[in-house]
Amino acid sequence: MCDYVNFEQWCINVDSIVAHIEDQGSFPWQCYKKLDIVDQKLVIKEIGMFAMELVVGLQDVKAKWDDVNRPLNSDASPVLPA
């Protein structure tokens, strides 16, 4: 059974967060591996919470505005321009 970090209606698989840390290179991975299991769990939770809060916050972005520079009520497009 997999463990997940949950935030509102979102969840992230813990194994995918650990894999992402490993993919960042040897220094982040070595730092993570030096932590005891309690601190590793705390790091995983913080990374997961940050990622989900970022996604939730980006959902409130309004990409267009009216003629007096107020955001429109429509949602931002799934892909924002560069």
End-to-end CA distance of the chain: 39
Give residue 1's pLDDT band: very low, low, confident or very high (50, 70, 90): very low
Whole-model pTM over 0.75: no
Give me the torsion for CA of 14, 16, 21, 25, rounded to 10°: 160
**pLDDT of 35:** 95
Give the CA distances from residue 10 to residues 18, 50, 56, 65, 77, in Å, rounded to whole numbers and listed in that order: 18, 12, 9, 28, 20
pLDDT 10s digits, 38-49 = 999 999 989 988
